[in-house]
Chains A and B, each alone.
Chain A
């Protein structure tokens, strides 16, 4: 067995890596905003908003991500709405991670003691102010470990977009490999790049956790 590695693969892989990072950043951001709103709807509202948010979370957590991606890309195209692969990828995965992030946010918000909100209200804050200035800063600290996991998952799950023709890290790797049949070597390099990325992100988030740590909150003790 002889292993072969060519430096000329790297520029293309680099472009793929960039797309992976951009895609992940876009999805995770959309997911964070939407997820937060879903969590708020599930905690603080009753009636239609609550049911809508709950149904949303159930649907996206109860069906495979790949099926969701195909529904957005091919399904909508079948109905006459043609999206670029990039847009389809961002939408499908953003909507998907929103459902998971909503559950993490919900858990964290509910872990903030009720007395905290009462104290905020008793000072004359509105409900939104209480959420914004008292509940959220605590919930964000509590959610960070789970949220970090979600970010790491998304970095890897974005690899499925090669199935709708997007040249992300995995997609580029597949193209190179099928050109020169060095499947093992190319995928090994791809795997190492993912690994480095994940380690980097994990370390950065650990650092952030340490920076915003407060005695008496979550892992802080």
Chain B
């Protein structure tokens, strides 16, 4: 069984059906990129995977454990799934170091000293050990996003979900975040990434998943999707985002 299995996921908000039967799989160590127009349900899909949003129908498994089962300890599951938000959501009142250590201390019950040491190592990994004592408001967007990646990494997640991690950043800060993410992907982390940075997708994605109106229109390796997509709509959308975001991404 794959590390992450999503089967026939449905979600509606009022009369609007946002997810209409999404199925996907992610093997251990794989990186998949989700693309699709605004309002298509990409964020909703990610939030359903760790049940920050409750799906209406469908099932999800993480490493053989059914996430959607009412008997599952959802807090435990969430602690095994990293989540990186578009607007970082670092804890405003805590320093970079304490942001990374908080989950270890409160969720994993790691002793404080040990947690801080681990947190410092994670900050080193994203190149921010020298900012350990800075508060989020004292960091650039790119630095904040790297701290939030360190915060996710500190929990030893089985999987990390990224929801447009660079789209709130000034163009000159995008590179430093993508660099960290590429390193993670190459290091064998399992990642599901909503992004329109096609340079990143080409570099590390095993598959690109094109979503529209709550369904997966097409999925496949980047080479195939870029050169020879099955559905015309995929080609059209890919052309649009490459124009908009640039080829290098």
Contact check: which of B52, B76, B148 meets A121 at CB < 8 Å? B52
Q: Once the chains bind, are B137 and A134 in contact (CB under 8 Å)?
A: no
B68 to chain A: closest CB distance in Å? 17
Look across to chain A and name the residue whose beta carbon is closest to the beta carbon of B95: A214
Which residues from A are CB-within-8-Å of B87?
Answer: 115
Interface residues of B in 90-136 (CB under 8 A from A): 90-93, 102-103, 106-107, 135-136
Check A119 for interface membership: any CB of B closer than 8 A. Answer: yes
Q: Once the chains bind, are B89 and A116 in contact (CB under 8 Å)?
A: yes
Q: Once the chains bind, are B89 and A118 in contact (CB under 8 Å)?
A: yes
Which residues from B are CB-within-8-Å of A121?
Answer: 52, 78
Look across to chain B and name the residue whose beta carbon is closest to the beta carbon of A120: B91
The distance in angstroms between the C-alpha atoms of A182 and B138, with both chains bound, is: 59
Q: Once the chains bind, are B52 and A125 in contact (CB under 8 Å)?
A: no
Check B75 for interface membership: any CB of A closer than 8 A. Answer: yes
Which residues from B are CB-within-8-Å of A129?
Answer: 106-107
Interface of A is mostly: helix
Q: Once the chains bind, are B78 and A214 in contact (CB under 8 Å)?
A: no
Contact check: which of A118, A126, A133, A217 meets B85 at CB < 8 Å? A118
Q: Once the chains bind, are A124 and B92 in contact (CB under 8 Å)?
A: no
The distance in angstroms between the C-alpha atoms of A92 and B90, with both chains bound, is: 41
Check B192 for interface membership: any CB of A closer than 8 A. Answer: no
Look across to chain A and name the residue whose beta carbon is closest to the beta carbon of B47: A118
Q: Once the chains bind, are B75 and A124 in contact (CB under 8 Å)?
A: yes
Check B210 for interface membership: any CB of A closer than 8 A. Answer: no
Look across to chain B and name the residue whose beta carbon is closest to the beta carbon of A126: B75
Chain B 44-55, CB within 8 Å of chain A: the 1/0 string?
Answer: 000000101000
Chain A 112-132, CB within 8 Å of chain B: the 1/0 string?
Answer: 010110111111111001000
Query: Number of A residues whose C-beta is below 8 Å from B?
Result: 23
Q: A122-B50, A123-B78, A129-B106 are in contact. Are A138 and B155 (CB under 8 A)?
A: no
Q: A123-B155, A215-B135, A216-B135 are in contact. Are A133 and B92 (CB under 8 A)?
A: no
Check B40 for interface membership: any CB of A closer than 8 A. Answer: no
B74 to chain A: closest CB distance in Å? 9
Q: Once the chains bind, are B91 and A125 in contact (CB under 8 Å)?
A: no
Q: Once the chains bind, are A216 and B78 in contact (CB under 8 Å)?
A: no
Q: Once the chains bind, are B136 and A216 in contact (CB under 8 Å)?
A: yes
Which residues from A are CB-within-8-Å of B138?
Answer: 215-216
Q: Once the chains bind, are A138 and B93 in contact (CB under 8 Å)?
A: yes
The distance in angstroms between the C-alpha atoms of A116 and B148, with both chains bound, is: 12
The distance in angstroms between the C-alpha atoms of A215 and B90, with both chains bound, is: 13
A2 to chain B: closest CB distance in Å? 58
Q: Once the chains bind, are B85 and A115 in contact (CB under 8 Å)?
A: yes
Check A141 for interface membership: any CB of B closer than 8 A. Answer: yes
B residues near A (Cβ < 8 Å) are 50, 52, 75-83, 85, 87, 89-93, 102-103, 106-107, 135-138, 148, 151, 155
A residues near B (Cβ < 8 Å) are 113, 115-116, 118-126, 129, 133-134, 137-138, 141, 214-217, 221
> Can you sample 16 A-B contacts with CB below 8 Å?
A113-B89, A116-B92, A118-B89, A119-B91, A121-B78, A122-B52, A122-B81, A123-B78, A123-B102, A123-B151, A124-B103, A125-B103, A134-B102, A138-B93, A216-B92, A216-B137
